[in-house]
């Protein structure tokens, strides 16, 4: 990485971070999958917990100040600033009721080494239920060339949301298994997740009831279980994209539940109440059910040799 390129990129990230209410904690040189140099930035909140930071890794020569890129980068930084206020900024919940932590993603994308026409990014998903099961899945998210044409830049700020939501959707399909060890599991990211007509991502059509259940599970796990009942961000556009709704709709539902005594709402953030935590048995049962759904199912009659072949 040349001094000039590094200086320009650091200056641009620092400016964008400041505008979003973030501080640039550190910068370092990294490498991508093929050993090419990257710039690694650690971002935090002013006066925030030093252990609660997020990583941004960009190609050495990336310039996001272009008009077609700047708006998305600005929105990404603004979202990170709010997400960093969560007790566990790395954690999400699936529609099936699984709390997960996403991390160790090796940005940026690299082209497949197997000859397939795809861009790959490696990462990891952990089961984040507050226990000691140590269940996780190593991931290989594969973006098709057709899908890549939709993305303004194959860099972390422009792809992280739809990659994370593709991971959640693949869990919802029962196609990712949580293990204590194992090889990387594929996460296909294809044009089925994008509407060219509507020009937006589409992951899951949900009803009001499903979105409400999702919000309650999110607040239960991320605030109540993992966050010592500290508030979590409700109006997260990443969740809105995953549920095919809007941030405003999620906030409206949270206000309704706050009125029922299940959460305490502070602006766009909500904290779990004792009434919500009293539902622990229900949410633990849902977690076990969702975990079982991800495990391979075998035809017992075939295992016993009773099936016609």
Q: What is the pLDDT of residues 242-284, one digit of tens each?
A: 999 999 999 998 888 777 899 999 999 999 999 999 999 999 9
pLDDT tops 50 at residue 302? no
Minimal CA–CA distance to 87: which of 178, 220, 216?
220
pLDDT band of residue 306 (cuts 50, 70, 90) is: very low
- Hey, what are 50's tokens? 């030093």
pLDDT at 297: 65
pLDDT at 65: 86
Please compute, for residue 191, the number of CA atoms within 13 A of its CA located in the half-sphere on the CB side: 12
Dihedral, 271, 275, 278, 280 alpha carbons, nearest 10: -40
Its sign, for the CA torsion 170, 172, 177, 178, is: positive
Separation in Å, CA 241 to CA 44, 185, 193, 206: 24, 23, 10, 11
pLDDT tens digits for range 110-133: 988 776 689 999 999 999 999 877
pLDDT tops 70 at residue 4? no
How far is it, in rounded angstroms, from Cα 235 to Cα 144?
Answer: 30
With residue 189 as reference, give the H or E element that holds it.
strand 185-189
Mean confidence (pLDDT) of the chain? 90
pLDDT tens digits for range 213-230: 999 999 999 999 999 999
pLDDT at 62: 92
How far is it, in rounded angstroms, from Cα 266 to Cα 176?
Answer: 35
How far is it, in rounded angstroms, from Cα 209 to Cα 63?
Answer: 42
Q: Are 62 and 111 in contact (CB under 8 A)?
A: no
How far is it, in rounded angstroms, from Cα 104 to Cα 153?
Answer: 20
């Amino acid at each position: 990485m040349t001094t000039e390129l590094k200086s320009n990129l650091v200056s641009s990230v620092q400016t964008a971070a400041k505008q979003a209410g973030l501080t640039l904690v550190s910068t370092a040189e990294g490498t991508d999958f093929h050993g090419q140099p990257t710039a690694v930035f650690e971002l935090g909140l002013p006066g925030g917990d030093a252990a609660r930071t997020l990583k941004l890794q960009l190609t050495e020569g990336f310039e996001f100040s272009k008009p077609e890129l700047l708006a998305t980068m600005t929105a990404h930084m603004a979202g990170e600033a709010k997400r960093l206020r969560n007790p566990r900024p790395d954690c999400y919940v699936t529609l099936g009721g699984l709390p997960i932590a996403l991390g160790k993603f090796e940005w940026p994308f690299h082209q497949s080494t197997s000859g397939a026409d795809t861009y790959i990014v490696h990462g990891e998903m952990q089961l984040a239920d507050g226990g000691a099961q140590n269940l996780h899945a190593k991931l290989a998210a594969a973006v098709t060339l057709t899908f890549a044409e939709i993305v303004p830049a194959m860099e972390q700020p422009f792809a992280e949301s739809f990659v994370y939501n593709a991971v959640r959707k693949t869990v919802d399909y029962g196609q990712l298994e949580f293990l204590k060890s194992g090889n990387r599991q594929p996460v296909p990211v294809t044009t089925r997740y994008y509407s060219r007509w509507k020009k937006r991502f589409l992951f899951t059509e949900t009803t009001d009831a499903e979105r409400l259940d999702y919000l309650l599970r999110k607040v239960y796990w991320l605030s109540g279980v993992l966050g010592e009942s500290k508030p979590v961000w409700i109006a997260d556009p990443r969740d809105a994209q995953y549920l095919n709704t809007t941030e405003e709709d999620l906030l409206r539902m949270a206000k309704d539940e706050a009125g029922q005594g299940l959460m305490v709402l502070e602006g766009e953030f909500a904290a779990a109440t004792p009434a919500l935590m009293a539902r622990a048995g229900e949410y633990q049962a849902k977690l076990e059910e969702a975990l079982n759904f991800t495990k391979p199912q075998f035809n017992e009659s075939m295992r016993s040799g009773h099936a016609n072949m």
